[in-house]
Amino acid sequence: MTTAFDLADIKRRMQGAVASLKTELGGLRTGRASASLLEPIQVDAYGAHMPLAQVATVSVPEARLLSVQVWDRGMVNAVEKAIRDSNLGLNPATEGQTLRIRIPELNEERRKELVKVAHKYAEAAKVAVRHVRRDGMDLLKKLEKDSAISADDMERQSKDVQKVTDETIAEVDQTLAHKEKEILAV
């Protein structure tokens, strides 16, 4: 049985790299509060590491404030410790079962560091897209070699793969440019 070439699968895999980039960029702190900022935080709860979202509700009542409503009163200290230890530079204030987290202004140096990190994430996404492209091209070459497709089909489908790759790389660049503008906005 020969493996069929599926351009839709290649598009889906490339979009996976873009989705991953958007998730990573969502965790980068800009000057505004965002619930996604706390998504990567793991809490030591009930003898296991759990995502913050499984022990509390995160909301954004104001542009520069996060509110974390802890469901179990006994978990408040564990959630507070997890947020403090997260290397996000956040300092929660506890009010009963609610943690209030002020998002401090970013200084110029920190903004530039965040832009560099965003560029690293974007480059990793581009590398992932190029790997998917290479896999698609390798499959096309193999199919042509096995006489499963003609040289003309190979040429046409190679152009399709390249077109999808170019579009996806452009989407990565556009996503990065948007995030960079957001980070540098004062």
| Domain identity same for 92 and 54 | yes
Tokens of 4: 């069929």
Q: Is residue 1 a part of any domain in this protein?
A: no
CATH number at residue 122: 1.10.132.20
pLDDT at 1 (0 to 100) = 38
| Domain identity same for 117 and 180 | yes
What are 70-97's pLDDT values in tens digits?
999 989 999 999 988 876 778 899 999 9
Spatial CB neighbours of 101, under 8 Å, sequence gap ≥ 6: 33, 65, 66, 67, 68, 83, 90, 91, 92, 93
| Domain identity same for 116 and 161 | yes
Last residue of a domain, one of 102, 127, 150: 102
CATH number at residue 94: 3.30.1360.40
pLDDT at 29 (0 to 100) = 67
| Domain identity same for 94 and 157 | no
Mean pLDDT per 10-residue section of the chain, whose length is 186 residues: 76 94 78 76 87 90 88 91 81 91 81 87 95 94 90 92 96 94 81
Domain range for 92 is 35-102
Q: From 146, 145, 171, 141, select the one nearest 157 (Cα to Cα).
A: 141
Q: Is residue 135 a part of any domain in this protein?
A: yes
| Domain identity same for 48 and 98 | yes
* CB contact at 8 A, 109 and 183: no
Last residue of a domain, one of 102, 117, 151: 102
| Domain identity same for 129 and 162 | yes
pLDDT at 77 (0 to 100) = 92
pLDDT at 63 (0 to 100) = 80
Q: How many domains does the chain have?
A: 2
Q: Is residue 2 a part of any domain in this protein?
A: no
Last residue of a domain, one of 81, 102, 123: 102
pLDDT at 35 (0 to 100) = 79
| Domain identity same for 73 and 39 | yes
* CB contact at 8 A, 98 and 70: yes
